[in-house]
């Protein structure tokens, strides 16, 4: 069955993305500031993406309230399969890092505008190819929505790519500011949370107003 998500609660989604970015930046900062590792390989995306989403879902799945959204009526995502989503998130972030390197010449447009372009284009390309693989693969997202099990068999590729690209376009410049201001992994994690919350809330607010619905198939 096909579903069109018509509305995403901006606060819920902003909080969810904020916690993911908190753990991602916390882990990255710990590796850089405490272990003096230089994160130049795209393969770090596997570890960072897996860790950030894994920790977030452990918290998220034990909360009383989930992410509220609407397709036919008000729905609430209460639980998400931790392992499969964490593995796929690690793979996606690795692919995103790779695409960002391919389009790194966009930074020639300036620190701010260049990173906005890089965030949008690289994310769009990464999501398109990532979801093409997901839609034909065997590892699927399993959700508990309103106490009913829900398996996402396919994503609408273009709508999802546009949404994630919009999200990254907002988050990446904010993260860049954090990289240049904070000098400890704790502060970097807090900066990641603020960036993720602002980006997630803003992207979902714009999504709700513009109305290019994300399509899912169960």
Q: Using an 8 Å Cβ cutoff, are 132 and 158 in contact?
A: no
- Per-residue pLDDT averaged across 42-69, rounded? 88
- Per-residue pLDDT averaged across 157-184, rounded? 81
Tell me which H or E stretch contains 70. Answer: strand 67-70
Q: What is the pLDDT at residue 197?
A: 95
Q: What distance, in Å, lies between the first and last C-alpha atoms of the chain? A: 5
Q: What is the pLDDT at residue 101?
A: 83
With cut-offs at 50, 70 and 90, classify the pLDDT of residue 8.
very high
Structure tokens at 111: 């620190």
Domain boundaries, the chain: 2-217
pLDDT tens digits, 124-156: 998 998 899 899 888 888 888 888 888 899 999
Q: What is the pLDDT at residue 18?
A: 94
Q: What is the pLDDT at residue 160?
A: 92
C-alpha 20/C-alpha 35 separation (Å) is 22
Q: Using an 8 Å Cβ cutoff, are 85 and 52 in contact?
A: no
Q: Give, in order, the Cα–Cα distances in Å from 187 to each of 21, 40, 108, 176.
A: 12, 21, 28, 13
* Structure-model confidence comparison of residues 71 and 205, the more confident one: 205
Residue 37 has pLDDT above 60, yes or no: no
Burial (CB < 10 A; 0-12, 13-18, 19+), residue 6, is: middle
Q: What is the pLDDT at residue 182?
A: 66
pTM for the full predicted model = 0.88
Q: What is the pLDDT at residue 23?
A: 93
With cut-offs at 50, 70 and 90, classify the pLDDT of residue 55.
very high
Residue 59 has pLDDT above 90, yes or no: yes
Tell me which H or E stretch contains 185. Answer: helix 185-210
Q: What is the pLDDT at residue 34?
A: 63
141-145 sheet: strands from edge to edge: 7-8, 67-70, 74-80, 141-145, 148-152
With cut-offs at 50, 70 and 90, classify the pLDDT of residue 217.
confident
Average pLDDT of the chain to the nearest whole number: 85
Residue 200 has pLDDT above 70, yes or no: yes
């Amino acid at each position: 069955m096909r579903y069109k998500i018509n509305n995403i609660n901006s606060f819920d989604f902003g909080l969810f993305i904020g916690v993911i970015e908190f753990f991602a930046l916390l882990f990255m900062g710990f590796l850089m500031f405490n272990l003096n590792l230089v994160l130049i390989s795209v393969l770090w995306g596997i570890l960072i993406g897996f860790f950030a989403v894994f920790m977030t879902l452990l918290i998220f799945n034990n909360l009383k309230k989930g992410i509220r959204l609407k397709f036919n009526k008000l729905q609430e995502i209460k639980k998400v399969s931790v392992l499969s989503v964490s593995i796929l998130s690690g793979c996606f972030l690795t692919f995103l890092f790779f695409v960002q390197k391919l389009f790194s010449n966009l930074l020639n447009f300036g620190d701010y505008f260049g990173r906005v372009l890089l965030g949008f284009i690289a994310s769009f390309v990464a999501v398109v190819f990532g979801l093409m693989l997901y839609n034909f693969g065997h590892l699927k997202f399993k959700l508990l929505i309103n106490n009913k099990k829900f398996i996402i068999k396919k994503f609408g590729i273009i709508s999802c790519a546009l949404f994630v690209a919009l999200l990254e376009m907002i988050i990446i410049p904010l993260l860049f500011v954090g990289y240049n201001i904070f000098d400890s992994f704790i502060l970097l994690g807090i900066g990641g949370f603020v960036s993720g919350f602002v980006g997630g809330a803003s992207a979902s607010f714009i999504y709700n107003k513009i109305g290019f619905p994300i399509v899912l198939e169960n």
